């Protein structure tokens, strides 16, 4: 079904336009009004696709936020996670943290197709991911923030780095901190606030079962687990059961972006080990932040906005080749090669 820029008169457009009146100027190279003249309906087009997708897929907002996170942690926010396999590189989609787990690629494709209709060659796939994550949070009850824009797309993917740079659900707090610090997110608030993205969405049982039955090789459950919650999780994820079964990160408000996640941690009800580590690691500097965010939703929202902007500002190394991809799955030179092959001329640009 085709989209129309008239979506700006709908609820999402009204929210975005109203919020834009509040945005502050930014001193960094990226700018919230980067597309104000070249693609003024960019937020409307992306938001319309998400609203449409939510009718059949309540998970999509959390999935899109996760895609943005997994993109930025691998050589900066450059949409490298969206590239399919090619003869030049292996896709990040095959990396262990993403394989059979990262999702929403087809939704990004829909957004890009519509953007190419109205603003051909203008909006980068990296910015599509960034805007989609912000609108996903907003639609789920979370905050709005002025998203700095103007990113460009990488011309390669980084399979090996994706295997090592992304935090594991089995990480200890020390490992989590190192993973975040390695990309420049070295504040405790970065880690705790961004982990709050697990306030909605689902995880597969395979990432949960080790702490239910054999935590750290002890043949016992993770002692930080709430006993009642342990029973509930064992019913959902039986030992030697189907590892792809989905479990809500937050069993109380599973599809809402709120601060219930932090209350869950305080009650020993963090779904995966790396989440519960934020509160259950003795003497950790993350504990007071979990308490603050649990007590005050707006304090969490403010910290989340700050951390999202910091993460969104992670850039590829200086001198890295980039472009504005026409198709988020392939570099432009590959598209032109295929077009030339169709014309009987083979030439890679």
Q: How many domains is the chain partitioned into structurally?
A: 1
31 is a domain residue: no
215 is a domain residue: no
148 is a domain residue: yes
328 is a domain residue: no
256 is a domain residue: yes
Residue span of the structural domain in which 149 resides: 41-201+249-323
233 is a domain residue: no
The CA–CA distances, whole Å, from 171 to 51, 58, 101, 179, 218 equal: 34, 28, 18, 9, 17
Catalytic residue annotation:
70
Structural contact between residues 102 and 81, judged by C-beta atoms closer than 8 angstroms? yes
Which residues have C-beta within 8 Å of that of residue 225, sequence separation ≥ 6?
A: 211, 212, 233, 268, 269, 276
- For each of the chain's 349 residues, which pLDDT tens digit applies? 344 444 443 455 555 544 443 343 333 389 999 999 999 999 999 999 999 999 999 999 999 999 999 999 999 999 999 999 999 999 999 999 999 999 999 999 999 999 999 999 999 999 999 999 999 999 999 999 999 999 999 999 999 999 999 999 999 999 999 999 999 999 999 999 999 999 999 999 999 999 999 999 999 999 999 999 999 999 999 999 999 999 999 999 999 999 999 999 999 999 999 999 999 999 999 999 999 999 999 999 999 999 999 999 998 988 889 999 999 999 998 776 544 444 544 433 3
Binding-site residue set for Ca(2+)? 71, 74, 76, 78, 80, 92, 199, 250, 253, 258
Element (H, E) at 247: strand 246-248
154 is a domain residue: yes
Is the pTM higher than 0.85?
yes
273 is a domain residue: yes
Q: What's the CATH number where 289 sits?
A: 1.10.420.10
């Amino acid at each position: 079904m085709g989209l129309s820029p008239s979506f700006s008169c709908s609820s999402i457009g009204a929210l975005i336009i109203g919020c834009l009146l509040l945005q502050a100027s930014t001193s960094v190279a990226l700018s919230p009004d980067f597309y104000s003249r070249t693609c003024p309906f960019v937020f409307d087009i992306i938001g319309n696709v998400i609203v449409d997708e939510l009718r059949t897929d309540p998970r999509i907002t959390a999935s899109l936020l996760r895609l943005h996170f997994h993109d930025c942690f691998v050589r900066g926010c450059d949409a490298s996670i969206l590239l399919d396999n090619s003869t030049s590189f292996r896709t990040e989609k095959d990396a262990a943290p993403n394989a059979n787990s990262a999702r929403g690629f087809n939704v990004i494709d829909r957004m890009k197709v519509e953007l190419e209709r109205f603003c051909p060659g203008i909006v980068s796939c990296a910015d599509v991911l960034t805007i989609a994550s912000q609108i996903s949070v907003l639609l789920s009850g979370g905050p709005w923030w002025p998203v700095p824009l103007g990113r460009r797309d990488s011309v390669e993917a980084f399979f090996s780095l994706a295997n090592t740079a992304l935090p594991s659900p089995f990480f200890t707090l020390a490992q989590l901190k190192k993973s975040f610090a390695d990309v420049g997110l070295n504040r405790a608030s970065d880690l705790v606030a961004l982990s709050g993205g697990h306030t909605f969405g689902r995880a597969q049982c395979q990432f949960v079962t080790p702490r239910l039955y054999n935590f750290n090789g002890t043949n016992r459950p993770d002692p930080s687990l709430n006993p009642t919650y342990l029973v509930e999780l064992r019913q959902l994820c039986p030992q030697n059961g189907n590892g792809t079964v989905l479990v809500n990160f937050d069993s109380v408000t599973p599809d809402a972006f709120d601060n219930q996640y932090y209350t869950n941690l305080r009650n020993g009800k963090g779904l995966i080990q790396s989440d519960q580590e934020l509160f259950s690691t003795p003497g950790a500097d993350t504990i007071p932040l979990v308490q603050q965010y649990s007590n005050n939703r707006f304090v969490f929202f403010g910290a989340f906005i700050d951390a999202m902007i910091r993460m969104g500002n992670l850039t590829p190394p200086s001198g890295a080749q980039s472009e504005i991809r026409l198709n988020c799955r392939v570099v432009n030179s590959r598209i032109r090669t295929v077009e030339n092959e169709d014309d009987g001329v083979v030439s890679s640009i």
